[in-house]
Amino acid sequence: MWYVVEIAFWSSIGLIVYAYAGYPLALSLLALWRTRRVEKAEVSPPVTVIVTAYNEETRIADKLENTLKLVYPRSALEILVASDCSTDKTDEIVQSYAARGVKLVRSPERMGKEAAQQLAVQAAKGEILVFSDVATVLPQDAISNIVRNFHDRTVGCVSSE
39 or 118, which is more confident: 118
Q: What is the mean pLDDT of the chain?
A: 92
Q: At residue 161, does pLDDT exceed 70? A: no
What's the CA gap between 52 and 111, in Å, rounded?
A: 12
pLDDT of residue 34: 72
pLDDT of residue 56: 97
H or E segment and range at residue 102: strand 102-106
Cβ atoms of 50 and 82 closer than 8 Å: yes
Cα–Cα dist 108/63, whole Å: 23
- What SS3 state is found at 49? strand
98: left (phi over 0), alpha (psi -120 to 50) or beta: alpha
Question: How far apart (Å, rounded) are the C-alpha atoms in residues 100 and 64?
Answer: 10
Topology of the domain comprising 47-151: Spore Coat Polysaccharide Biosynthesis Protein SpsA; Chain A (3.90.550)
77 vs 55: CA distance, rounded Å? 25
Please state the domain extents for the chain: 1-35, 47-151
Question: Which amino acid is located at 6 in the chain?
Answer: E
pLDDT of res. 1: 75
